[in-house]
Amino acid sequence: MGGEGNGRKKGITYADAGVDITAGNEAVELMKAHVKRTFRPEVLTGIGGFGGLFALDAAKYKNPVLVSGTDGVGTKLKIAFMTGRHDTIGIDAVAMCVNDILVQGAEPLFFLDYLAVGKLVPEKVADIVKGIAEGCRQAGCALIGGETAEMPGFYAEDEYDVAGFVVGIVDREKIIDGHAVQPGDKLVGLPSSGLHSNGFSLARKVLLEIGGFALHETPAPLTRPLGEELLEPTRIYVKQVLPLLEKHRIKGMAHITGGGLTENIPRILPNNCKVVIDPSAWTVPPIFKLIQETGRVVDHEMLRTFNMGIGLVIIAAPDEAEAVMQTLAANGEKAVYIGEVVPGEAAVEYKGV
């Protein structure tokens, strides 16, 4: 191997190519405290190993089934880039994954993240992971591993992408898949916190291009700057829903993500059932009204793109639905009846739309 002696020039390094291993090590040190706060008793490994070890307590379950999910944040990341705020976007990454397995009755156990950056800035990476850890804390799952990849020339220096993977568990006989849904059942809606992490390509086009709004502006009917509104993290429903599963017979649940109520609810309906939803049953958050009015977006397009203020839907028999509402209210959750199941082909109809 040649050295620097004999008049030779210093050879190129990995850092010269744009990958800073030292910065990566610093980022790991900065994120360690956030990650450790998410650990559950089942976690057997520390941070920095080649794999995360999780000792499954199978004795808690009669016939345990593992449930997995993966997702990203989408173009909501563009808002984080534009505002320079990076400590909430990780909550979205966790929420999109854990809510998806939750609606099948699963308790989230552990989470892994994937973060790819154009230039690794330790403080920024630590902020992103801080958000991921906060999402895991809200979901009650452990952040047991992840990957941070510095990819110069692939991502712009100030840009990154983040995605996640979750594993949960449910007893086989307690899996919720919608097979028992029947006409007469009621739909209970849990409020969203806003856009969550869906429809941002349309939202950005309407608000930033057509509307010409700046992220520091507070256009009516908003009551806070647009950037804050758009970065509001996706709600995580684990702590609201898991107690329900211990007390009530839930027939079906739907996480309202891309495709809105229109596309997501039919995913859990038997072929002989459809639902009729009354959009006047809940108050649509101002951000959706701003998008619709600014872009002159028709009702059906809004309903099949955005959650419109309902982030999760629970389907239960009429008497059970009332008990579910009471339990949610006792826990401070402002749930609302939004519709019912009727005979028909699996689809969603809207009253008055």
Same domain flag for 92 and 154: yes
Counting beta carbons within 10 angstroms of the beta carbon of residue 263, is it exposed (0 to 12), middle (13 to 18) or buried (19 or more)? middle
Residue 11 lies in a domain: no
pLDDT over 50 (residue 189): yes
Residue 17 CA to residue 11 CA, distance in Å, equals 12
Specify whether 247 is located in the same domain as 166.
Answer: no
Domain-located, residue 90: yes
DSSP-assigned states of every residue in 52-79: --B---GGG-SSEEEEEEEEE-GGGHHH
Structural domain ending residue among the three candidates 151, 174, 197? 174
pLDDT band for 34, please (50, 70, 90 cuts).
Answer: confident
Asked whether the predicted pLDDT for residue 199 surpasses 80, the reply is yes
Q: Domain count of the chain?
A: 2
Question: For position 6, what pLDDT does the model report?
Answer: 53
- Residue 306 and residue 243 share a domain: yes
Residues 156 and 243 occupy one common structural domain: no
What's the distance, Cα to Cα, between the start and end of the chain in Å?
Answer: 74
In a domain, 7, yes or no: no
Residue 272 pLDDT: 93
CA atoms lying within 13 Å on the CB side of residue 53: 7
- The confidence score (pLDDT) of residue 4 equals 47
Average pLDDT over residues 277-282: 97
Query: pLDDT at residue 143 above 70?
Result: yes
CB burial readout 127-161, b (16+ within 10 A) else e: bbbbbbbbbbbbbbbbbbbbebebbeeebeeebbb
Q: Does the structure show a pLDDT above 50 at 137? A: yes
Length of the chain (residues) = 353
Query: Cis ω on the peptide bond leading into residue 343 (within 30° of 0)?
Result: no
Same domain, 108 and 219: no
Cβ–Cβ contacts within 10 Å for residue 23, how many? Answer: 18
Q: Which of 44, 27, 60, 24 is nearest to 142 (CA)?
A: 44
Query: CB within 8 A of 233, min separation 6: which ones?
Result: 88, 89, 91, 92, 95, 131, 135, 193
Report which of 238, 262, 256 is spatially closest to residue 196, judged by C-alpha positions.
256
- Which CATH number covers residue 67? 3.30.1330.10
Residue 3 pLDDT more than 60?
A: no
Q: Could you report the per-residue pLDDT of 88-128, keeping only the tens digit for each?
A: 999 999 999 999 999 999 999 999 999 999 999 999 999 99
Asked if residue 190 and residue 123 are part of one domain, the reply reads no
- pLDDT at 2 exceeding the cut of 50: no
263 with 286, same domain: the answer is: yes
Q: Would you say residue 92 lies in a domain?
A: yes
What is the per-residue DSSP string for 280-331?
GGSPPPHHHHHHHHHHT--HHHHHTTS-TTEEEEEEE-HHHHHHHHHHHHHT
Of 131, 151, 174, the residue that ends a domain is 174
Question: Per mean pLDDT, which range of 4-13, 245-254, 324-333 is the poorest?
Answer: 4-13
Q: Where does the pLDDT of residue 8 fall: very low under 50, low under 70, confident under 90, or very high at 90 and above?
A: low
- In the prediction, which pLDDT does 50 show? 79
Average pLDDT over residues 156-166: 96
d(CA 73, CA 234): 10
Residue 15: inside a domain: no
Dist CA 255 CA 245 (whole Å): 16
Between the CA atoms of 38, 195, 71 and 73, what dihedral angle is there, to the nearest 10 degrees?
Answer: -80
- Structural domain including 324 reads 186-350
pLDDT at 353: 81
